[in-house]
Structures are given as structure tokens and as C-alpha cells.
Amino acid sequence: MGSLTKSKLPIIDFSQEKLKPGTDSWLSTANDVRKALEEYGCFVALYNEVSPETHDAMFSAAKDLYDLPMESKVKNTSDLLGFGYGGGFTTMPLFEYFGIEKATTLEGTQTFTDLMWPSGNDDFCETALLLSKKLAALGDMVLQMVFENYGVERYYDTQIEALAYLMRFIKYRAPMNNENNTGLRPHTDKGFLTILDQNQVKGLEIETKDGEWITFDPSPSAFVVVAGDGLMVGSSRAYDYDVVDLGFIFPSPQFDSYDWKLSQFLGQAWSNGRIHSPFHQVAMRGTEDKYTIALFSFMSGMVETPEELVDNQHPLRFKPFNHYGYLRYCGAEGMKYKHPIQFYCGV
């Protein structure tokens, strides 16, 4: 593992008034997005559509979640890795999460709220819906820029309609004396795109292609956008085929290890390897608890590299695959591998 570096992630401003499709600022922002996703697999988006009030209200409402009794928490179940409830892991004892499926719909946030708080929690439900819609709008804009910049905008509308969103509320408690500081072990995201909103506590570290780790310094209007394996299907990075230990998965304490969902490798696959799907981790280095709200997108159906992204210099690297099938694979046999996408659908 490389050393921590003082380098910064690319920062891209989405708060510009003139950011409308077809304008000069849109085109130059789209170029920056593509460059950042190809070089780093991520960037920091400055985005004022989420007000500081919404950001604060969400983190404040979310704290109640972690105080719920365990019998309530475990009602949030799923057969996919990272989608239900998880906590109390031996390899990552500081880490706890709740997944909300279909979080960009009232049905999704209401179902989750009713499950956790049968007597109601309108504040949580409304704020989660508002935030997830705003984050999804940012993600959709990023994807529109990516599709246009690669000249494959003809696929954009159908692909956006097919996206499914998972919102994940995460807490990393501060380590106690002499406790290991691992918050989340190194992993790539298994979805298409991830957007991260965080409280003020540092801890997220992203690996560059050179093996250095960049620490992200959070602020309320800065969101980290991370490409997943699904989008990568176009990246030029050589794969290694290491079999890794199983610590980067999210074993559930209540159920067997298949009771969780994945969220991460999609960006690479779609782009035929052009976009990079970066390894990232959370390391807790202070005395404060860290909270993250993540919005993941997945393709509800097949992920397929557009034919325009395949040529002599970029031979097809990934066969079309079912995204949820890939998530299930990652929660089972695929968890042995550092790059399960290669084993699942690599050519």
C-alpha cells in the first residue's frame, strides 16, 4: 500500500449559473469530468443545490438511526451485500450502515422510515427524499456529460431510466484506545456512480493509479463523485488477478455473509476500461465519529459497452452483464477477488 500524500483530488464546480447543456461552460466542465474520471476515477463536486441547511438537517436526523435498538435495526434486511443493515464486523468494528433502496422515491424513503420508526419520523423521511433526489440529479448530470463527451449520448435517456438508486447511511465510530482504526477496508465500488456526502470528520482516502493515498477534506457543499466498476468497462488500467482476503466485504453479524449487497465496479465496465474505478478506504485518525451518506446507482438490467467505445486500440474487455447478477456474484464467489468484474464478465 502506498503512502498518504498531500495531493488533492480534482475539484469541479457544478454551482455555475451558466451550466446548461450545450453552453461553453457545460462543454468545458464535461471535459474536466472525463479527464478526472479517467485519471483519478473520482473528483470533488462543488454543488450548491444541496443547501447547508439540508446537509445539516440530514446528518442531524440520521444520528437517531444509530441509537435505535438492535431489534429495530436488523429489520432492514436485504439479500444483497451492503443494502440492508450491517454492523459489528470483526474486521471493521467501527463501521455500521443502513441501506435504503429506491431512495429517490417517496415509496423507498417511507418504507424504510416506517420500518425503523413505526410511530413515524417525517423529518427523516422528507429530508432523505430531498437529499437523495438532489444527489441523483448531480449524478445524472455527470453521466450526461460522460455520455456526451464520449459521443454516445444516444444511449443516455434509456440508461438513465434504467438506473436504480441505493442510499446508504454510514457511521464510523471513533476508535477506542489501541483499537484498530480501520473504518472501511480498501475496495472499489461495484455500481455505476457513487456520490458521497460527509460530515466534517476526515477519514476517506482514495488511491491514485500510482499507489498514493489522497485524504479528502470534507466541507458541506463538496461531494465526492466516485466511478464504480460498471462505468470502468472502458479503463486502460491493467488488471491484476490477486486473490485477496475477505476483509473488504461487509459480513453481517445477524445473518450469514450473503446478507448484504454490493455497490461498486460499474463505471469501468461500461466505458471499456477508459474510466478508472479507484480503490478507496476509510481510516479513522481522530477522536470524533464520522458520518457519511452515500448514493449509489446501479443499472437495473444489462450493462453493455457501447459499440462506439470498441475499436482496434480498445478491444472489447467486458461481455454484457446483468448488474444485479454481478452484485450477487460479488457477495458470493467474487468476494475472493480484488477485481471480481474481470472474473465475472472479462473477455
Ligand X SMILES: O=C(O)CCC(=O)C(=O)O
Give the interface with Fe ion as residue ranges (CB under 5 A).
Answer: 189
Q: Which of ligand X, Fe ion, none interacts with 204 (beta carbon under 5 to 8 A by kind)?
A: ligand X
Q: According to CB under 6 A, which one of 280, 323, 328, 339 is a site residue for ligand X?
A: 280
Reference 111, options 80, 77, 134, 64; nearest CA is: 77
Q: Residue 257 to residues 188, 281, 328: CA-CA distances in angstroms?
A: 19, 20, 12
Q: Identify which of residues 99 and 306 has a Cβ nearer to ligand X in the complex.
A: 99
Span from 15-23, 196-204, 229-237, 252-260 in contact with ligand X (CB under 6 A): 196-204
Choose between 263 and 342: whose C-beta lies nearer to ligand X.
Answer: 263
- Residue 136 binds which entry of Fe ion, ligand X, none, with Cβ cut-offs from 5 to 8 Å by kind? none
295 binds ligand X (CB under 6 A): no
How many residues line the site for ligand X (CB under 6 A)?
12
Main-chain phi, psi angles of 205, to 5 degrees: -130, 135
- The DSSP bridge pattern shows strands 42-46 and 11-13 to be parallel
What's the first-to-final CA gap in the chain, in angstroms? 28
Q: Which of 50, 100, 184, 201 binds ligand X (CB under 6 A)?
A: 184
**H or E element in which residue 322 lies:** strand 321-322
Environment class of 242 (CB within 10 Å of its CB; exposed 0-12, middle 13-18, buried 19+): exposed
The answer to whether residue 58 forms part of the interface with ligand X (CB under 6 A) is no
Beta carbons within 8 Å of 331's beta carbon, 6+ residues apart = 80, 81, 249, 257, 258, 260, 261, 262
Residue 82 CB, shortest distance to Fe ion, in Å, is: 9
Contact string 135-174 vs ligand X (x = CB under 6 A) = ---------------------------------x-x----
Cα dihedral: 187, 190, 192, 198 (round 10): -50
204 is a site residue for ligand X (CB under 6 A):
yes
Partner touching 128 among ligand X, Fe ion, none, CB below 5 to 8 Å by kind: none
Q: How far is the CB of 122 from ligand X (least distance, A)?
A: 26
HSE-CB for 174 with a 13 A CA cutoff: 9
Burial of residue 49 (number of CB atoms within 10 Å: 0-12, 13-18, 19+): middle
Min dist CB 282 to ligand X, Å, is 5
Residues of this chain that interact with ligand X (CB under 6 A) are 168, 170, 184, 189, 196, 198, 204, 263, 280, 282, 292, 294
